[in-house]
Amino acid sequence: MIKQGLRTWKAAWAVGILVGTLALWQATVASSARPAAQTAKRSTLKVNATAHLRLVKKDGSILHERGTVTGTPAGTVTARFNVSNVAKTTGTMTFKPYGGGSITVTAVVHPAGSVSKFAGNFAVRRGSGKYARAVGSGTLSGSVNRRTWAVTATARGTLTY
C-alpha cells in the first residue's frame, strides 16, 4: 500500500517535471522565435526620390513648402526650412507615401557652388503607420529658385521599416 502510494507520487512528480520542462522549452522557443519573426517582417527600401516643392508661406527666415515626390517612395511632402544660419540650412520634411503612413526626416544642407544649389544629408526622425519604426539616412541635393522659392531636391539613401 505504501509502495503503491510512493509509485503514484513518483509518477506524479515525473509527469510534473515533464510538463514543466515542456512548458519551459515552449516558452524559450517562442521567445527566441519572436524577434526573428519581427526581423523577418522589416523591409529595407532603397530611397531614390525627387521632391518638387513650392513655397506655401515665408515667415522671416522660415520657409514652409509643399509638393510631390516621384521615385521611391512616391507621394506627397510638406517641409519647413530654416535659412537663418548662413552656413547651413536645417529642415524637417514629412513624406506621405501613396501606400499609406508617413516618414519625417531632418535635413541639413549647405550651399553647393552657388546660392541656389545645395547638398547635405537627411536622417529619419520618426514615422507612422507601416513606417512607425522606420530608420534610415542618406544624402540630399538639389536646387532652389530664389525668386519663387520652388525647390527640387533629390534624396538617396536607405530606409528600413
Partner 1 sequence: MGSDRDGQGHPHVLAARAAVPCARAIAVALALLASCSANAVAGPIKLTATFARGATLGAATVLDAELHVAPRRAPATEVRVYYPASLGILSSGLGLVACRRPASDFVTVLITAPRLGGCSPNAVMADGSARADVQLSDGQVIREFATVALLSGAVVNGRIGLVFFVEGVRPFGARLVYAGELRPAPAPFGGALVAHLPAIPSLAGTATVALTDMRLAIGSHTIVYRARTGKRYRPEGVALPSRCPRGGFRFRGEVAFADGARAVAETVVRCPPPAGSM
Contact between 115 and partner 1 by CB under 8 A: the answer reads: yes
Which H or E run contains 82? Answer: strand 75-82
Sorted by sequence, the CB contacts under 8 Å of residue 122 that are 6+ apart come out as: 93, 105, 106, 107, 108, 137, 138, 139, 140, 155, 157
43-62 positions binding partner 1, by CB under 8 A: 58-62
Among 7, 42, 110, 133, binds partner 1 (CB under 8 A): 110
| 151 contributes a contact to partner 1 by CB under 8 A | no
Q: Report d(CA 110, CA 66) in Å as an integer.
A: 21
The residue from 8, 28, 85, 160 that contacts partner 1 (CB under 8 A) is 85
Q: Kindly indicate which of the ranges 43-51, 67-75, 81-89, 92-100 contains the residues binding partner 1, using the contact rule CB under 8 A.
A: 81-89
How far apart, in Å, are the Cα atoms of 92 and each of 13, 67, 103, 107, 139? 64, 14, 10, 6, 14
CB of 152 to partner 1, least distance (A): 17
For residue 78, give the nearest of 103, 99, 44 by alpha carbon: 103
Q: In the complex with partner 1, which residue's Cβ is closer, 83 or 135?
A: 83
| # binding residues, partner 1 (CB under 8 A) | 21
- Which residue in 71, 111, 121, 139 binds partner 1 (CB under 8 A)? 111
**Contacting positions for partner 1 (CB under 8 A):** 58-63, 83-87, 110-116, 146-147, 149
